[in-house]
Amino acid sequence: MKKKILPIVATLIILFFTSSSNYQMLYNKLEAEHKYIQNQIKAEEVKIQGINNKSVIVRNSKETVDKTTPVEYPNIQLHAIGAALMDADSGRVLFERKGYEALPMASTTKIMTCIVALEEGKLDDMVTVSKYASTMPDVQLGIREGEQYILNDLLYSLMLESHNDVAVAIAEHIGSSVQGFAKMMNEKAKEIGCENTHFVTPNGLDANGHYSTAVDMSRIASYAIKNKEFIKITNEPIWNFSEVKTGRKFAVSNKDRFLYIFDGAIGVKTGFTGKAGYCFVGAVKKNNKTLVSAVLGCGWYPNKGLKWKDTTKLMNYGLDNFEYKTVFEGTDNFQPIMVDKGIEKITNTYIEGHLDLLLSENDKVDYTYNMPEMVKAPIHKGSAVGYINVWINGEIYKQFPIRVSKTVMERDFNYCFDEIFKIFKIK
């Protein structure tokens, strides 16, 4: 039947398009539709749900956000050379002063030693002490060449009293050598997102090329405290254990005074060397907030207590000045988008996602979106066609995808053929 109809259809098409009035009418109709669609989607500003679920403006240009104004932190009086305060849940830096400056970090290094050992070893592993490990300087447990210990026991010795000989014994057991373990530490640092950290030793003794930053140490601790075994170890007041073969007994006690002087403290590690000065990485969980701070180069002997003062100031600043706010809420109906060669000329879009963040009154939040005016058919429901940028203090913090609401197929030959049949009511 279709073979008989095709010549008729072809003739009608030729007659239709050779009629200048019909052609002009079709052209004008398409042109009007095109302009209407463009006007619908050309708005430079639209509204979305933003901070505290209030309607906020989102602009169609990332250039509208001022990225030149530096973040202004409060004038907190600190003794540390480098300091940082971080929201442990989001990883956002809430305060920093020389927080990105590379500095020696002493025994706060052992935070990474512990978390790598927990992830790569087994708590019931048997660790045999090498001659090299037994020769490490103070602070030391006094382990001897050939002795054997359970890894779990050594991790308490490592974190509660910061024993340097134990750190090397753990490193040699997990990484086959200090160098092999340092490689694992550096790989983990990169995985976590540290940008200016390099480990050479597992104990933090001064060494060329061994450094980190206050921000990176805060990032490492934020990662570590998510491990339940890590928290269990670092919060233990005292731990008793024995050497496996001889039964030689040991008792180690927690030297992290911050656990006892700050309400909500959950760790994590002190440090001191002649080059690094006094260092401390602390963590607090209070009022539904989890904060991590780091102070590096926080005085030298005899100013042992300055690290507690600096850490207390940083934690109080975070607890007193930051509250959770809903920064972004997705929407079922965003901007329409044109579809080139689609069976429908336009389709709607939506944005998925939700973001709650700790914010202070001084934090500036902006929103921009990037989305083309037109996409090419076929386009399938849920396909990403752009993204919303959430800017905090002039930097992009997170992006959320803009997706099409429905599938739009291409205007191919079969579709055009069916439409012609409808126009001329051919059955």
- The catalytic residue positions are 107, 110, 162
CB contact set of 190 (below 8 Å; sequence gap of 6+): none
Q: State how far the alpha carbon of 30 is from the alpha carbons of 25, 27, 242, 305, in Å.
A: 9, 5, 86, 77
Q: State how far the alpha carbon of 95 is from the alpha carbons of 278, 292, 390, in Å.
A: 20, 11, 19
Distance of CA 399 to the CA centre of its chain: 12
Both structure tokens of 410:
């291409």
Neighbours of 297 (CB within 10 A): 23
Q: What's the N-to-C CA distance of the chain in angstroms?
A: 10
